[in-house]
Structure 1
Amino acid sequence: MNIKNMFTALVFGLITLFSNHSQGATTDSPYQGAQIIVTLFECFLIALPTSALFLIVWSRWKHLRFKQLLQIVLNSSLVFMLISLVTVNQLTQNISSWLIALAVSHTLLVGISYLLVKQHTNRVKSTLTGCW
């Protein structure tokens, strides 16, 4: 099963898990539409730190340019995660502690990745200046 199919299955599974469908209901309330949006943003809030962790571990064996591009993607994902967190907070008027824990862990992952990229950059610079 490839990554796209796994991500699609995860999204549909989380939507099914968090949706509150009642048996025999024939009308959709406005609250149900907002609940689907909240569930979608919560899926993003779960997927971003998980995929960031896998990418950071995988990037250990990659070259410096890949790590720099990954850092740009991680920075933008951090901004997207904070926007999603604020959106969930506005739509539900409360926020759970596990969402806050995920946001903190993602922030720490981005910070650790930044330090690793900076360390690799300094190592490459010192190697290049040592050759001259």
Structure 2
Amino acid sequence: MNIKNMGTALVLGLIALSSSHSQGSTADSAYQGAQLIVTIFECILITLPTAGLFLVVWSRWKHLRFKQLLQTVLNSSLVLMLISMLAVNQLTQSISSLLIVLAVSHTLLVGVNYLLVKQHTNRVKSTLTGCW
């Protein structure tokens, strides 16, 4: 699946989520705008751990520099995820257990990737010092 198809799927998913949240309601446009923002943040909260997991699995066959860059991206995504969770909590005054599970799993994923990068770094260092 290329980037264009993923972008189209994300936009269609956002439209479907926002339309299902507002069907049958007679709420004003400010509430619908806030609900759309919450839906966008929820999509971010679901997408980050899923994409992170696929990247960590895919990075198994990549070089150390790629894994180090991936660790930087995962650290940034963890911060973005925590900010998104705070935003959802402030806008809805509640947070679902699914989002908490996703946040915990993403935190564990970042930790596991850190350990994998550290292990790979140590292996490269020992190989280089063994050559001398």
**Structure 1 and Structure 2 fold alike (TM over 0.5):** yes
State how far apart, in whole Å, the 2-side matches of 1:127 and 1:34 are. 54
TM-score calculated relative to the size of structure 2: 0.91
State how far apart, in whole Å, the 2-side matches of 1:22 and 1:57 are. 39
The question of whether the paired residues in 1 share the 8 Å contact of 2:88 and 2:95 is answered with yes
State how far apart, in whole Å, the 2-side matches of 1:21 and 1:94 are. 18
The 1:119/1:96 distance shift into structure 2, 3 A limit, reads: same
State how far apart, in whole Å, the 1-side matches of 2:25 and 2:94 are. 29
Equivalent in the alignment of 2:120: 120
State how far apart, in whole Å, the 2-side matches of 1:23 and 1:56 are. 42
The question of whether the paired residues in 1 share the 8 Å contact of 2:17 and 2:39 is answered with no
Equivalent in the alignment of 2:35: 35
Q: Where do 1:37-76 residues align within 5 Å?
A: 37-76=37-76
Q: Which amino acid aligns with 1:5?
A: N
The 1:15/1:42 distance shift into structure 2, 3 A limit, reads: farther
**Structure 1: any 5+ residue segments left out of the alignment?**
none
> How much is the aligned-residue C-alpha RMSD, in angstroms?
1.9
**Structure 2: any 5+ residue segments left out of the alignment?**
none
Equivalent in the alignment of 1:22: 23
State how far apart, in whole Å, the 2-side matches of 1:47 and 1:55 are. 12
State how far apart, in whole Å, the 2-side matches of 1:7 and 1:46 are. 15
State how far apart, in whole Å, the 2-side matches of 1:56 and 1:12 are. 27
The question of whether the paired residues in 2 share the 8 Å contact of 1:15 and 1:40 is answered with no
The 1:65/1:51 distance shift into structure 2, 3 A limit, reads: same
SS at structure 2 position matched to 1:52: helix
TM-score calculated relative to the size of structure 1: 0.91
Residue identity (%): 78
